[in-house]
């Protein structure tokens, strides 16, 4: 039996984007059937309220041929329930908590139905994405009701870390449980940087939406604004001009490069290899300055606009990139060799923070973290966007799942980015870089998906428009959100307390990106 | 410790700059921050396109503390330096200043104010 047998309605929304409407009673069977096929990947789950009707929505990535599948489950009543999907699809664990607190759709039988993203003093019964709540509404003040964790058993010591720490580290709180030197368990408290970005986007016009997407995570600003612009373009039924598609690919790879250099620098810092840290930071800084020259902004803000890019690349700038790339390649080769000759560094990474491949797959690890644990997924190859379908590159894969695999994988990805940029500079089409704004017009009530392989993994944006062509609901699933859920699985077992900074840096996750 | 790192560090030399002792201008093409030229601003003629296009309300119309007069304020503290106002301004009163110097000593120093001149009729009514 296929899903089509129990679907109430099947629609092709856009090329490669399907929608199936289900009843809550059929949801579990459908998800179970989808998860049984290893080519399908659970991607997102969120709640929507439209015109007084609430919907539970799930998103699955299918194979390259079929694209994406939305499961839409209309729910009714004051306190709608559905059977928790955690047993059939463990990766839904955090998502179900988020849907419950933000839309009031309750998963029956959820193993830990606590608040996820909202602060301790958020009043009960106020749903950011339900009950007609607006971002301009005042939230009534209530006494904080924090969750008290059971204290550690005898012989186990709780070691709290964060949310304020030394250096330029984002805010996150860890409760590390140690038995002597060994890390036996970890609790994670994120979402200190929750800004309600998706809510703020509601009511915004096409002019302002990219500004909001860029602020999800500064170091993935280009990736997120690209995913948003692709969603808008799909909703409007247009495509960016060829030159814009190539340039978007170029900037996406420049963003990946500086992020991956920053990643190696942070990892060197965690293992105490300060010269290595400085060297990778030099490479990163040179790329940030290059970005400022090409885009007017070190982190590529303000470049993506619906229908293309806000500025073009001159021939002189093309030469500047070419020269910088030659320097980067030369230096990177030397640094990579030095890294592998530094036992003090490599020994700290080997068999540290292992994310077992079966857990990585079950918990929905994406991006470099997933690929380092055998999850062979890369949206650039599997669901190509921008100009990736026309370019030649390899997707590296590792199966060890430890910190060394994650570091090695990113080193290889840097080499692939060099390859991609070379090809783009050599085959840049000549055309406009933007369709006229009047041609980029969405139909009222339309919705569409945009996706991107950001430096930290799959970013998937879903955007629905209202009658005035303004954003009605914006949903963002970042790579960091998916990977934070897998992070605690890598901590217990053969790791000691001083391994923790190495494990943390080796995941290379963004707090802001997960918190939104 | 791998000796190669030592050599690499020595070869790289000093890459940080002595800013602010010596200027360190941002790269050519840097977007910078908006600057408002009151002389060219047509707020008196009822033009408010910059206010309408500003997402963080860094450009806003305010009532002066005397409760009567109004003024246009460009406040760099909430400004996200997207440059949409500069693109929208029909008279060129707004332009991007790309020297990269953003620090101010007080919140007031981050504000540019253009007073709105009211036409007052002979009987004193606006």
Three-class SS state of A206: coil
pLDDT of residue B118: 59
Alpha helices in A272-309 (DSSP H): 274-295
Distance CA B16, CA A292 (A): 17
Confidence at A443, pLDDT banded by 50, 70, 90? confident
3-state DSSP helix/strand/coil % of chain A, to nearest 5:
40, 20, 40
Q: Cα–Cα distance between A209 and B45 in angstroms, integer? A: 30
B84–A207 CB contact, under 8 Å: yes
* Domain total in chain B: 1
What is the pLDDT averaged over residues B19-30? 87
The residues near A204 (Cβ < 8 Å, ≥ 6 apart) are A212, A470, A471, B55
Whole-number pLDDT of residue B62: 87
> Is A89 a residue whose pLDDT tops 70?
yes
A341 chain-B contacts, CB cut-off 8 A: 2, 4
Task: Kindly state the average pLDDT of the residues A370-396.
Answer: 94
- What pLDDT is attached to residue A292? 93
**Mean pLDDT over residues B10-31, rounded?**
88
Q: Which residues of B touch A294 (CB under 8 A)?
A: 29
Residue range A124-152, pLDDT digits in tens: 888 988 878 888 888 888 888 887 777 88
d(CA A228, nearest CA chain B) in Å: 17
Residue B39: other Cβ atoms inside 10 A: 7
Is residue A271 within a helix (H) or strand (E), and if so which, with residue range? Answer: helix A242-271
The whole-angstrom distance between B53's CA and the closest CA on chain A is 9
* Residue B31 touches chain A, beta carbons under 8 Å: yes
Which candidate in A197, A302, A437 is best for mutational testing of the B interface (most B CBs within 10 A)?
A: A302
DSSP code per residue over B66-95: TSS-EEEEEETTT-----HHHHH-SSS-EE
Q: What is the CATH number of the domain that holds B63?
A: 3.30.70.3270
Q: Among B1, B32, B55, whose Cβ lies nearest the Cβ of A344? A: B1
Find the mean pLDDT for residues A94-122: 90
Q: Which residue of A has its CA nearest to B1?
A: A342
Domain housing B82: 25-115
The more confident residue out of A65 and A271 is A271
Q: How many CB atoms lie within 10 A of CB A141?
A: 8
pLDDT of residue B121 exceeding 60, the answer is: no
How close B27 gets to chain A, by Cα (Å)?
5
In this prediction, residues A65-87 reach a mean pLDDT of 89
pLDDT value for A167: 67
Query: Residue A49: in which H helix or E strand, if any?
Result: strand A41-50
Which two three-digit tokens encode residue B84? 């949409």
Contact between B2 and A341 using a beta-carbon 8 Å cutoff: yes
Residue A480 banded pLDDT, cuts 50, 70, 90 = very high
- Is residue B16 included in any domain, yes or no? no
Nearest to A341 among B4, B30, B32 (CB): B4
pLDDT above 70 for B120: no
Distance of alpha carbon A334 from alpha carbon B99, whole angstroms: 35
Residues of A in contact with B12 (CB under 8 A): 278-279, 282
For A322, residues 6+ apart whose C-beta sits below 8 A from its C-beta are A425
Domain presence at residue B92: yes
In a domain, B5, yes or no: no
Residue B97 has pLDDT above 80, yes or no: yes
Report the distance separating Cα A515 and Cα A510, nearest Å: 9
Interface of A with B (CB under 8 A): 204, 207-208, 211-212, 215, 273, 275-276, 278-279, 282, 285, 289-290, 292-297, 301-302, 317, 334-335, 337-338, 341-342, 344
Tens digits of residue pLDDT in B32-72: 899 999 888 888 888 889 999 999 999 998 888 877 778 89
Name the residue facing A296 among B15, B29, B84 (closest C-beta): B29
pLDDT of B70 reads 82
Residues of chain B contacting A211 with CB distance shorter than 8 Å: 55, 80, 82, 84
Q: Return the percentage of chain A with pLDDT > 70, whole number.
A: 98
- Domain-located, residue B69: yes
Question: What number is the ipTM of this complex?
Answer: 0.86
More confident call, A147 vs A155: A155
Give a yes or no: residue B53 inside a domain: yes
Residue A368: alpha-carbon gap to chain centroid:
11
Domain-located, residue B20: no
Does any domain span residue B9? Answer: no
Mean pLDDT taken over chain B:
85
Nearest CB neighbour to A289, from listed B1, B27, B98: B27
pLDDT for position B52: 92
Tell me whether residue B99 is in a domain: yes
Distance CA A88, CA A54 (A): 23
Is the pLDDT at B1 greater than 60? The verdict is no
Mean pLDDT of all residues belonging to chain A: 91
Hey, what domains does chain A have and what are their CATH numbers?
A: 3-108 (3.30.460.80), 197-515 (1.10.645.10)
Q: What is the mean pLDDT of residues A372-394?
A: 94
């Amino acid at each position: 039996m296929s899903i089509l047998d129990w679907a109430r309605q099947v629609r092709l929304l856009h090329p490669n984007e399907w929608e199936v409407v289900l009843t809550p009673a059929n949801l579990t069977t459908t998800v179970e059937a989808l998860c049984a096929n290893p080519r399908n990947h659970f991607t997102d789950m969120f709640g929507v309220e439209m015109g007084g009707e609430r919907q539970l929505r799930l998103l699955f990535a299918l194979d390259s041929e079929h694209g994406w599948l939305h499961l839409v489950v209309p729910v009714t009543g004051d306190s709608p329930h559905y059977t928790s999907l955690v047993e059939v699809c463990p990766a839904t664990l955090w998502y179900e908590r988020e849907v419950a607190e933000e839309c009031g759709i309750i998963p029956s039988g959820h193993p830990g139905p606590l608040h996820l993203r909202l602060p301790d003093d958020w009043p009960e019964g106020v749903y950011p994405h339900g009950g007609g709540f607006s971002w301009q509404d005042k939230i009534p003040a209530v006494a904080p009701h924090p969750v008290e964790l059971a204290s550690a058993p005898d012989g186990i010591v709780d070691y709290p870390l964060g949310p304020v720490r030394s250096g330029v580290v984002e805010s996150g709180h860890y409760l590390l449980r140690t038995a002597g030197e060994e890390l036996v368990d970890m609790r994670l408290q994120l979402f200190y940087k929750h800004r309600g970005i998706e809510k703020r986007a509601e009511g915004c016009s096409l002019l302002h939406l990219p500004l909001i997407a860029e602020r999800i995570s500064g170091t993935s600003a280009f990736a997120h604004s690209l995913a948003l612009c692709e969603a808008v373009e799909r909703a409007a039924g247009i495509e960016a001009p060829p030159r814009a598609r190539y340039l978007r690919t170029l900037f996406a790879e420049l963003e990946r490069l500086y992020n991956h250099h920053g990643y190696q620098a942070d990892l060197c810092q965690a293992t105490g290899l300060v010269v290595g840290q400085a060297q990778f930071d030099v490479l990163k800084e040179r790329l940030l300055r290059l970005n400022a020259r090409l885009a007017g902004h070190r982190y590529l803000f303000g470049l993506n606009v619906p229908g293309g890019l806000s500025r073009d690349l001159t021939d002189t700038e093309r030469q500047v990139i070419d020269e910088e790339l030659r320097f980067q390649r030369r230096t990177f080769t030397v640094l990579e060799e030095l890294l592998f000759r530094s036992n003090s560094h490599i020994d700290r990474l080997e068999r540290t923070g292992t994310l077992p491949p079966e857990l990585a797959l079950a918990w929905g690890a994406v991006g470099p973290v997933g690929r380092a644990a055998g999850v062979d997924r890369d949206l650039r190859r599997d669901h190509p966007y921008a100009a990736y379908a026309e370019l030649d590159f390899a997707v590296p894969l590792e199966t060890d799942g430890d910190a060394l695999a994650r570091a090695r994988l990113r080193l290889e990805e840097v080499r692939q980015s060099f390859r991609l940029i070379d090809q783009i500079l050599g085959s840049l089409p000549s055309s406009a870089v933007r369709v006229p704004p009047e041609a980029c017009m969405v139909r009222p009530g339309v919705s569409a998906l945009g996706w991107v392989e950001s430096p930290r993994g799959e970013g998937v944006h879903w955007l629905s428009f209202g009658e005035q062509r303004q954003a009605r609901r914006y949903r963002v699933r970042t790579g960091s959100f998916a990977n934070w859920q897998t992070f605690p699985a890598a901590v217990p077992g053969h790791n000691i307390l001083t391994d923790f900074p190495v494990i943390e840096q080796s995941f290379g996750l963004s707090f802001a990106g997960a918190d939104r | 410790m791998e000796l190669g790192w030592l050599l690499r560090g020595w070869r790289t030399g000093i890459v940080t700059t002595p800013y602010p002792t010596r200027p360190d201008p941002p790269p050519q093409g840097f977007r910078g921050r908006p600057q408002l030229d009151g002389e060219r601003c047509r707020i008196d003629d009822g033009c408010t396109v910059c206010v309408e296009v500003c997402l963080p309300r860094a450009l806003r119309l305010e009532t002066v503390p005397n409760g009567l007069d109004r003024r246009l304020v460009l406040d760099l503290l909430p400004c996200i330096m997207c440059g949409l106002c500069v693109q929208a301004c029909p008279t060129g009163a707004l332009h991007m200043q790309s020297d990269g110097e953003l620090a101010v000593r007080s919140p007031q120093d981050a504000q540019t104010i253009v007073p709105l001149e009211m036409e007052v009729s002979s009987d004193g009514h606006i």
